Amino acid sequence: MNRLTLIGMPGSGKSAIGRVIATRLGWRFIDTDHCIEKRFGKKLQAVVDEVGTEEFARIEEETVLALPEEGPVVISTGGSVVYSDAAMQHLAAISTVVFLDVPLPRLHGRIARAAPRGIVGMGAGGLEELYRNRFELYHKYAHSIVLLQGENLQEAATRVLFQCGVS
C-alpha cells in the first residue's frame, strides 16, 4: 500500500518522522492537527480550549473521515484519534497504520520542550495515565508497531519504512 498513517502519543515524533518519510518517498504529507489548526485559524490548544474535548473529538473524527482516499501519502494524526473507532477504521481501510511506540520517560522530555500543546484527555493523572489509557488502543488499531528508543529522525524513518516493507 502506498499510504502510511502514523499514530502514537504526543511527542512520539509522528509529524517529524512523517515529514522525513514523505520527503524520502516523494509522497504528500498530511498532519491532521495542522488541518484542524488551519480550519480554525488558531493553534490546536486554543481550539481544544474553545470547543472542549468532546467537540474536539468530533472535529478530529470529521477531519480524518474527510481525508482523501487516493494517492501516495503519509498521514500524521493527533494522539487522541484512537478514541474514534470510525476514524481508525477509515485509516485502516485507506492506509497501513503504524504505532510509533516511544517509552514514557522519553515522552516526558519531548512534551516538556514542546509545551504548551493541545493534548486531549490529559487529566490529573498526567502523561502516565494518558499513556495507560491509550496504549491498548494504539495496539488494537496498528498494523505495525515500531519501538523507538532514541533514534534520530532519519534512523526512525528508516526503521518505520523497513518494518512496513516500504521502499
What DSSP designation does 141 have? Answer: H
Q: 64-70 — which CB contacts under 8 Å span 24+ positions? A: 64/32, 64/90, 64/91, 65/90, 67/30, 67/32, 67/91, 67/94, 69/94
Q: By percentage, how much of the chain surpasses pLDDT 90?
A: 68
pLDDT at 123: 55
Task: Point out the annotated binding site for ATP.
Answer: 11-16, 117
**129-157 pLDDT tens trace:** 878 888 999 999 999 999 998 899 999 99
pLDDT at 163: 92
CATH topology of domain 3-164: Rossmann fold (3.40.50)
What are the DSSP calls for 12-65, one per residue?
S-HHHHHHHHHHHHT-EEEEHHHHHHHHHTS-HHHHHHHHHHHHHHHHHHHHHH
Q: How confident is the model at residue 115 (pLDDT cuts 50, 70, 90)?
A: very low
Report how far Cα 97 is from the mean position of its chain's Cα atoms: 10
> Could you check whether the bond before residue 10 is cis, i.e. omega within 30 degrees of 0?
no
Task: Point out the annotated binding site for substrate.
Answer: 33, 79, 134
pLDDT at 166: 84
Report how far Cα 107 is from the mean position of its chain's Cα atoms: 14
Answer whether 61's CB lies under 8 Å from 86's CB.
yes
pTM, entire model: 0.89
- Mean per-residue pLDDT over the chain, rounded: 88
Task: Point out the annotated binding site.
Answer: 11-16, 33, 79, 117, 134
Task: Point out the annotated binding site for Mg(2+).
Answer: 15
**47-77 pLDDT tens trace:** 998 999 899 999 999 999 999 888 999 999 9
Grid cell for residue 158: 528508516
